[in-house]
Amino acid sequence: MINALTMDFDHVRSSTATVDGSRIVLTLETQAGPTNVSLPVNEVPRLLVAVSDATRLANAAQKDARRLALPVRRLDVLVHDTDRELLLAVELASGTELVFQINPELMSQFVRTCSQSLEGRPSLSS
């Protein structure tokens, strides 16, 4: 539990990046008006993890809370010749792309699990 002063934000108004791409800037709306928050771009992965963890904790505190699910438009696996790591690119319905670094063994396990989970199920595309 956080015991320090906390400002409540009502929603994200906008997001952008600095001209040189070194920082992200989020404009968050409060009852008193908008506030800009600027973070170095290398902190974005930690911010996403922190938001996801906080959401999980908030959901656990609520009865009958649903798991946060972002609608996905497209999944791509990108293979680089110079590296044994794969990139899993997830494009959200909003157009936002999230890219995850994944090793080939974990990707193979994921594909097997997906295949097993979908076996015998009616087609979801109809």
**Coil, strand, or helix at residue 90?**
strand
**Coil, strand, or helix at residue 9?**
coil
Q: Is residue 10 within 8 Å of 29, Cβ to Cβ?
A: yes
pLDDT band at 93 (very low <50, low <70, confident <90, very high): very high
Of 24-28, 87-91, 103-107, 121-125, the range with the lowest mean pLDDT is 121-125
Domain range annotation of the chain: 1-66, 70-119
pLDDT score for 1: 60
pTM over 0.95: no
40-83 pLDDT per residue, tens: 999 998 998 888 888 888 888 887 777 778 899 999 998 876 67
Q: Is residue 33 within 8 Å of 14, Cβ to Cβ?
A: no
